[in-house]
Structure formats: C-alpha cells, structure tokens
Amino acid sequence: MNLGSLSINDEAVIVSISDIDEIVMRRLNSLGVKIGSAVCLSQKTLFGGPCIFECQGKQVSIRNKDAIKIKVAQV
Amino acid sequence: MNKTALLGYPNIGKTTLFNSLTNSYEYVGNWSGVTVEKKVGNLHNNSGKLIDLPGMYDLAPLSKDEEVVMNFFLNEKFNSVLNIIDANHLSTNLHLTIQALEFGKPVIVGLNMVDVAKRNGFTINDSLLSKRLGVTSVPTIARTGEGCSELLNEIACAGESQAFELDYGVEIESLISQITKIIGVKSGHNKRWLSIQFLLNNNMVISYLEGLGIKNELKAALGNKSFNGEIVKKREEYINSLIEEVVTFSEEGKVEWPAKVDALVTHRIFGLPIFLFIMYLVFQATFTWIGAPLSDIVDGFIGGTFTELTEKVLSAIGASTLLHDLVVNGIIAGVGGVLVFVPQIFILFLFISFLEDSGYMSRIAVVMDRFMDVFGLNGKSFIPMIISFGCNVPGIMAARSIEQKKDRLITILTAPFMSCSARLPVYVLFAGAFFSSNQGTIVFSLYVLGIVLALIVTKILSLTILKDEKSIFIVELPQYNLPHAKTLFRSTWEKGKNFIHKAGTIIFAGSIGIWLISYFGMSGANVEMNDSFLAAIGGFFAPIFSPLGFGTWQATAALITGFLAKEVVVSSMAIIYAVSDDTLGAEMIKIFTPASAYAFMVFILLYIPCLATVAVIYRETKSKMWTIISMAYPLVVAYVIAFIINKVGQFFF
Amino acid sequence: MASGIITALILGYAGYAFYKSVKKKSQGKCGSCSSGDSCNSAKTCD
C-alpha cells in the first residue's frame, strides 16, 4: 500500500520511502515527512496529478509518481 | 551598527513582521557573490538594522534563494538572529532554530501565528520554551502587529550568545571534534557549527572549507560515510521531547473552515474552473467594474480642468509657442495619457497582493501542476507567471523558489509573455476604441494568449534544448489567512508606486524626447508632423510591419519607444496624434481596422521584454546567450502571430 | 526670457531623468527598486 493508493481522508503511517528524487526527499524531510510520520490524504487530482496530504498539521502536495514511492500502512 | 538577520521558513509571515518592525526600507543591499536584493530596514526604536532573508527550510541550500541565506551566514557580519517560527509547526520549524543556535550568535525567537495555532487547538508555553532553548521567545501575531514591541525590546538588548549544544552521540561527536581541530584558527565562524554542517553535506560549507585549503584532511577524517540521517534523528528526538513539554493540544476550539475551503478550491474537478473564474473576476473588476469608471474620472480631470488651468498659467507668463507646445502636447499628452491608467493598475496590484497574502497562490500551483506537467514544467512555475501580470521583474525573480535549473530557466524565458501592467494602457486604449462593448473579454483574451504561447514555448524548449532534465514538484500549502487591510494596502502601494514613479521619470523623459523629434525636422522647428525626424525614423522601419496591418510610421515609432517601458507606447501615440487621451481612441479608429488593432495589441503583448526585464533576465540567468534569446525569439513569435491575426481577423471583425 | 529658462529647465530635467532611469533599468531594477526601495512581492522577498 502506498500514499498514492489511499482514498481521501484515509489515515496511515509511513513505512518506507525509497527511490525518490533527492531534492524531493530532502524537502519532505524538512517538512517533517519521514518514516513513522502519520499522514492523512486530503485531496487527489485528476489524471494522476499531484495529491495533497496532511502531515503534522501541514498540508503538503507532491506528484502522484512520487506518492506511489512512499509506502504506508493504514491505521 | 547593530545588525539582526531575519530567518525562518517561507510563508510564515516574515515579510509582514519585517514591515511592522521597521519604519522604512533603508537600502537594497547587494550581497557579495550572488547579486540578489535583500531588504534592509531600520528598526522602529533605532536600535539597529534588520535584514530580511528569503524564507528557507534548511541551511543546506537546495534552491537559489536558500543559497542567498547561506551565503549571508558565511560572508556577512551581523550581531544576532531573529528566528521566526510558526507556532503551528514547531516540530519542523525548530530544526532551523537548532541550526541557528549552533551558529553561535544570539538568537531571539518570534513565535508567530499563535492565533492560528489556537484555532488549530494548540497552546504553547512560551516561557518554558525560552527556558529550554536558552533564548528569549516572544509570541507574535504578524498580521495584527501583536508582540512587535516586545520583539523590538528583545532585539535591542540581545546580549551575549548562550551556549547551545546538542549531543549527537559518541561517533558523531568524535568526528565533530576531529573536524574542529582540523579547522583550527582558519575560520572565524563557530567551528562546531561548521563541522555539523559539513557532516550534513551542506555543499556551501563544503566549498567554504575547501576554500580554506583543508579539503584532503577533511576527506581523510570523514571517509565516505553520510551522517545526515543520524544528525537529523538526534535533533528530532530533542525536538519531540521539547514539544511534549511545551505544547498542549485540545480538539476544542479547532476550526474546520480552512479544510472545507481547501476541499473546494483544490477539488479534482472544480479546482481548475474555480481558479479560472477567480481570474476572470479579477480582470472584470480591474478593467470593467471598478477600474474603468475611475480612469474616466482621472481622464476627465487631466484632459479638462488641468489642461485649461495650465493653458491659463502659460498665457499669463507669456510663454513662447515652443514652451506651450512642449508642455501641452509633450508633457500633458504624454504623461497624462499614462497616468489615466493608474487606478486600473492599482486595482490589479491589490488583487495580486490579496492572492499572495491569502495563501491561495500555492493552491494554484497544485491545481495547475498536472496541466503544466504536460508541457514539461511544474505547477510552481505558475506563481511567477501570475506575479508577472503585475510586473515581469519581480515575476522573474520569484522564479528563484523553483528548485530545478531547467524549470527555472524556462519560467524566466516565458514570463515576459505574461502581460504586465505596463502593457495595459495600450490594451485599454485600443479595446476601448474598437471593442468597447466587450473590453473586458478582449483584454482577457490577450492575457490568455500570453499564457498559451508561454506554454507552447515551454513545450518546445523541454522537448528540444532542455530535454534531459526532469521536472519535480513538491509544495507546502500554507494556512489560509484573511489578509490584513494594512498589509494589503502597503504591499499594493509598494508595487504600484513604481508606476507613478515611472510617470515622473522615464515616461516624462520619453514623452519629451518623442515630442522633440516630432517637433523638429529637416526643415527646422515646428514642422508638420509628417516631415519630422520621428516620421522619418518610423517611416524607415514601417514597411516591415505592413503585413501585420499597422505599417504606418506612427505605429512603428511607438513600438520602438516601447522597449524603454511599455507605457511609453501610449505616450508616443498621444503625442504623435497631438490629441488628449479621450480623443486618441477616436483618432485610432481612422487609422486601424479592428483586425489590425487586435494584431497591434498582440504585437505589444509579445514583441520584446522591456529594458528592465532584459536586465533582470541577464542577472538571473547569468548568460548572455539566454538573454539574447529571450529578446530575439519573442520578436519572431510576435511577428508571426500578429501576421496571422491580421489576416484571419479580417474575416471576423 | 522666462519661457527660455523654463524650457531649458524642463529639458534639463528630462535628460537627467532619462539618464538615471536607463542606468537603473539596465541593472535589472524595476521602478520600485530604482526609487531606492526593494521589489516587494511577498513571494520574492519572503
């Protein structure tokens, strides 16, 4: 299960992040998105566009192709 | 002089605080290395200067504006750091605070957005936070100015730095002491801070240390290991325990509306139509509902009362014909023709400021990303584009927040297609004369055309010259806030006064210059306009524009002057046709057809970035080649498109 | 006489203003920068 496959309002915990672009990775880290963080998917867009998720009270948006590289476990 | 650096994440109200803490922008500094403007302001209580640094997430720079901050830390002298943190996101913001504390200068913490935090259900014990970090922290609400006087006091009496050391564990600590030893007395900076940043792979610190000539020793000490993860983890543990102590959370008082607004404006289906609808409203309000009636009032005043008054004064002092013509046909026609558009431009800036302050801009980035991806760009490029609607110069500078070189370059190259406010007078003049029943729609169509062409150029660039780099997208959506009236007016004024200032300088000078060469000719002074130097110059180039439908010397002369500043096009026309602005439209109808008028507007939209924009493109790209390309390709595009419009338009209008 | 002086003053100012603006503009500063302040776009200067 990955971040991109969650439905809207699903809550989950990040299990692993792999194979993501270095810059995206570092930005995610400084935004507090890392292994063990609780996330909640708040919006998806059409045609595989970016999704928005909430993490530690922050709304963050990344592209779907990056979101599917973030493996999560649903809670 | 006491200097304080303002440091913090982007989008947490730093600029707003800067404005409340300082009374004026004293000067614009060019920091060494990168020539990038930073705002420097005098603190209200005269205790020193405050330097506004770009917002950043981490001292290890990823984007160009973050390099500015790191460069400042490494190369500039300052006394203390004012670190603004978002009370809603302590767990992330405190990472930057720790890095600032490790730097070793006194740190004052401004705990901002405590009101929003309350709305979200957080209460923060700021005195306990101060005690744990060993700094002074002041709760503030930037938008209302709350906490600013306390901050000023704290900055004024910021004394010696407090020692802050976080224990990173045996292995890293031993490395730190090794590196510290290697650095020795070679650097005046805090050696522990340098060592930690080095271990974090901060590329600017690495090159700084290499510059000290200790590269090999450092390499030997470090081996090939990366310590990023471990250091960040230690910091996190510390921050989490700190937060557990100082923050209390309760579900009560949490407000739901921001989530609901977001669900709507970023909606998978409605998001895009909502955005387009908002933009359409902005343009209608600017050009039809509010702006146009106000412009008519200004127009009536300049063309009527003011001109009559001036005529009286001139005849009272017994002015010569030369002076009379210079003032009435040169200055009043030229400068007045442009001043008429001040209301519209201010209203447009008011809306742009509102979009910037409210937090909607980054939602636009999300909504537009999928669309932009088709063209090989990312949604973030859309923000510089929208800012370019005001003025291309800050728009191009806003491209700095884009992480990737390719995306930044493309954004810079296409931003001039975004129709800036200086081009507006031309549209309003022509749309008013030829398409008066649907002015708003015609002007809107030009803005859309600019965007469409920018996208096409983007696609071509990302398929050809710049095809090897991929595009990335990650953006944080800030909390919504209702922009405070004072902040809104201040930032509108900051943007708009530029225009008034130009009226007194470049437009004034341009008007007089044009008037002069239209007044003199081969046969002397006060010649027929058709025999003037201006007619000769315009006439020489005019045949080039015949296929576009405006091959007259008048239109050509106006186009040439437009390179200085696009507003001058209207000044030129007002002078050339020697009429006040309200009859200029009537004069135009005799010369242009609707099709050639539209072609002319399109040509003005596209043909060349103005002088200031060209210079900023050079400064941002640091490449002569790209600067020349940025001037040359719009000419070709403008010519082709205007040609097509003139030919095809004949069947429609 | 008065006319001559006023004309000269206006032309003189125009020349000066032209020289100054072009100099500032060619450094890549838009009008608000060239009036001694900084561009103030929240995104640029945040």
Higher pLDDT, A42 or B466: A42
- CA B196 – CA B180 distance, rounded (Å): 10
Nearest to B62 among A27, A58, A59 (CB): A27
What pLDDT is stored for residue B449 in this prediction? Answer: 92
**B556-578: average pLDDT:** 82
Q: Is residue B494's pLDDT more than 50?
A: yes
- CA A69 – CA A17 distance, rounded (Å): 6
Topology of domain B3-156 in CATH is: Rossmann fold (3.40.50)
What pLDDT is stored for residue B640 in this prediction? Answer: 93
Q: Best mutation site among B16, B36, B37 for testing chain C: the one with the most C CBs within 10 Å?
A: B37
CA dihedral B363, B365, B370, B376 (to 10 degrees): 180
- CA B147 – CA C30 distance, rounded (Å): 34
What pLDDT is stored for residue B581 in this prediction? Answer: 55
- The residue type of B446 is L
Domain residues for the domain of C7 are 2-45
Helix axes B14-21, B485-504, angle to 10 degrees: 70
Under DSSP, is residue B55 helix (H, G, I), strand (E, B) or coil? coil
Residues C1-46 have pLDDT tens digits of 778 888 888 888 888 888 887 777 666 555 444 333 334 333 332 2
Strand B37-43: give its sheet, edge to edge.
Answer: B22-30, B37-43, B49-52, B3-8, B80-86, B107-112, B136-139
Q: Which of B203-217, B245-259, B534-548 has the highest mean pLDDT?
A: B534-548
Higher pLDDT, B425 or B356: B425
Q: Is residue B32's pLDDT more than 60?
A: no
What pLDDT is stored for residue B37 in this prediction? Answer: 55
**B54-64: average pLDDT:** 79
Task: Please work out, in degrees rounded to the nearest 5, the angle formed at the alpha carbon of residue B414 by the alpha carbons of B411 and B419.
Answer: 120
Lookup result for tokens 């937090």: B359
Per the CB < 8 A criterion, the answer to whether B139 and B87 are in contact is yes
Q: Would you call A45 and B367 a contact, using CB atoms and an 8 Å cutoff?
A: yes
Burial class (CB in 10 A: 0-12, 13-18, 19+), A75: exposed
Bridge partners (DSSP) listed for residue B110: B84, B138
Q: Which chains touch A (3 or more CB pairs under 8 A)?
A: B
B634: Cβ–Cβ under 8 A, 6 or more apart, which residues? B416, B417, B606, B607, B608, B609
Chain C within 8 Å of B49 (Cβ-Cβ)?
no
Q: Is residue B420's pLDDT more than 50?
A: yes
Nearest to B366 among A24, A52, A57 (CB): A52
In angstroms, the separation between the Cα of residue A31 and the nearest Cα of chain B is 6
In angstroms, the separation between the Cα of residue B493 and the nearest Cα of chain C is 9
Collect all residues of chain B within an 8 Å Cβ-Cβ radius of residue C35.
497-498, 501
B154: Cβ–Cβ under 8 A, 6 or more apart, which residues? B108, B136, B138
What pLDDT is stored for residue B453 in this prediction? Answer: 92
Q: Which chains touch C (3 or more CB pairs under 8 A)?
A: B
A30: Cβ–Cβ under 8 A, 6 or more apart, which residues? B57, B58, B92, B95
Structure-block tokens of residue B459: 């696609």
Q: Measure Cα distances from B244 to A34, B234, B248, B271 in Å.
A: 19, 16, 8, 38
What pLDDT is stored for residue B469 in this prediction? Answer: 67
What is the tally of structural domains in chain C? 1
Q: Which CATH number fits domain A3-74: 3.90.105.10, 3.40.50.300, 2.30.30.90, 3.30.420.40?
A: 2.30.30.90
Lookup result for tokens 């809207």: A8
Per the CB < 8 A criterion, the answer to whether B415 and B388 are in contact is yes
What pLDDT is stored for residue B34 in this prediction? Answer: 35
Residues B597-631 have pLDDT tens digits of 899 999 999 988 887 788 778 877 878 888 999 99
What pLDDT is stored for residue B113 in this prediction? Answer: 85
- The residue type of B604 is I
Collect all residues of chain B within an 8 Å Cβ-Cβ radius of residue C17.
504-506, 508-509
Question: Which residues 1-46 on chain C approach chain B with CB closer than 8 angstroms?
Answer: 2-4, 6-7, 10-11, 13-15, 17-18, 20-22, 25-46
In angstroms, the separation between the Cα of residue B144 and the nearest Cα of chain C is 17
What pLDDT is stored for residue B641 in this prediction? Answer: 92
What pLDDT is stored for residue B521 in this prediction? Answer: 83
Classify residue B470 by its DSSP letter.
Answer: -
Q: Would you call A46 and B268 a contact, using CB atoms and an 8 Å cutoff?
A: yes
In angstroms, the separation between the Cα of residue B255 and the nearest Cα of chain A is 13
Chain A within 8 Å of B379 (Cβ-Cβ)?
yes
Q: Which of B8-12, B73-77, B177-181 has the lowest mean pLDDT?
A: B8-12
What pLDDT is stored for residue A34 in this prediction? Answer: 80
What pLDDT is stored for residue C27 in this prediction? Answer: 63
Chain B within 8 Å of A49 (Cβ-Cβ)?
yes
Q: Would you call B232 and A24 a contact, using CB atoms and an 8 Å cutoff?
A: no
What pLDDT is stored for residue B416 in this prediction? Answer: 92
What pLDDT is stored for residue B582 in this prediction? Answer: 59
Per the CB < 8 A criterion, the answer to whether B307 and B329 are in contact is no
Chain A within 8 Å of B57 (Cβ-Cβ)?
yes
Residues B85-102 have pLDDT tens digits of 988 888 888 989 998 888
What pLDDT is stored for residue B508 in this prediction? Answer: 86
Q: Is residue B639's pLDDT more than 90?
A: yes
Assign domain B170-249 to a CATH class.
Answer: mainly alpha
Q: Which chains touch B (3 or more CB pairs under 8 A)?
A: A, C
Per the CB < 8 A criterion, the answer to whether B322 and C3 are in contact is yes
Comparing alpha-carbon positions, the chain A residue that sits nearest to B56 is A30
What pLDDT is stored for residue B635 in this prediction? Answer: 92
**B145-152: average pLDDT:** 84
Residues B236-245 have pLDDT tens digits of 889 989 888 8
Burial B629-642 (b: 16+ CB within 10 A, else e): bbbebbeebbbebb
B215: Cβ–Cβ under 8 A, 6 or more apart, which residues? B209
What pLDDT is stored for residue C32 in this prediction? Answer: 42
Q: Would you call A43 and B232 a contact, using CB atoms and an 8 Å cutoff?
A: no
DSSP letters, C15-41, are HHHHHHHHHHHTTT--HHHHTTS----
B306: Cβ–Cβ under 8 A, 6 or more apart, which residues? B332, B336
Structure-block tokens of residue B270: 């409605």
Burial class (CB in 10 A: 0-12, 13-18, 19+), B314: middle
In angstroms, the separation between the Cα of residue A38 and the nearest Cα of chain B is 13
In angstroms, the separation between the Cα of residue B29 and the nearest Cα of chain C is 9
Q: Measure Cα distances from B441 to B43, B295, B410, B430 in Å.
A: 46, 18, 28, 13
Share above pLDDT 70 across residues of chain B, in percent, rounded to a whole number: 94
- CA B535 – CA B557 distance, rounded (Å): 8
Bridge partners (DSSP) listed for residue B85: B111
Nearest to A32 among B91, B365, B474 (CB): B91
